[in-house]
Structure 1
Amino acid sequence: MFDQTDMAKAKKALDGIACVAGNMPMDLLTVGTTQDAIAHTKRLIAICGKDGGYIMANGAFFDKVRWENLKAIVDTVKEYGVYK
């Protein structure tokens, strides 16, 4: 449900008031491609990460994730999601 949130609108509405988090669809972790997971992660960082206030997260955790996708997301956040 919440992975359908318009994150640009959420970031704008909450900017300076509260952090936004999430919007990582579980299907990217369970059945998506690694390339799609990386692309979505970069998109979230670009939309929500500017000037801080974003927490990369998914809404739940399943034991049947594609670990290569989870690792790709973590690695992408480490590379592109660092506040400077």
Structure 2
Amino acid sequence: MISALIYAIVNVIHTIISIYIWIVIIAALVSWVRPDPYNPIVQALYRLTEPVYAWIRRYIPTVVGGIDLAPLIVIIGLQFIDVFLMRLVFH
């Protein structure tokens, strides 16, 4: 019973992490084309990603050669957390 609950919780966390990784990827791709800042989709992507980017930028310099690496750092961090949780629960 408890193992099924833990399995369900880890699967939900895995799904949320996967969705957020896709949001970060889409936001990074959209930022390359100078989107309309008044577009509701662009605003939603900005609201979902910018707080995490700001937190990372506070501790790590993310701009290298004019390229912001904050999305890459977020994706790597989320992948680490995802793999860690999956291995911790299923092994």
**TM interval, short-chain normalised:** under 0.3
The structure with the larger Rg is 2
Larger helix share, 1 or 2: 2
After TM superposition, the score normalised by the length of structure 2 is 0.26
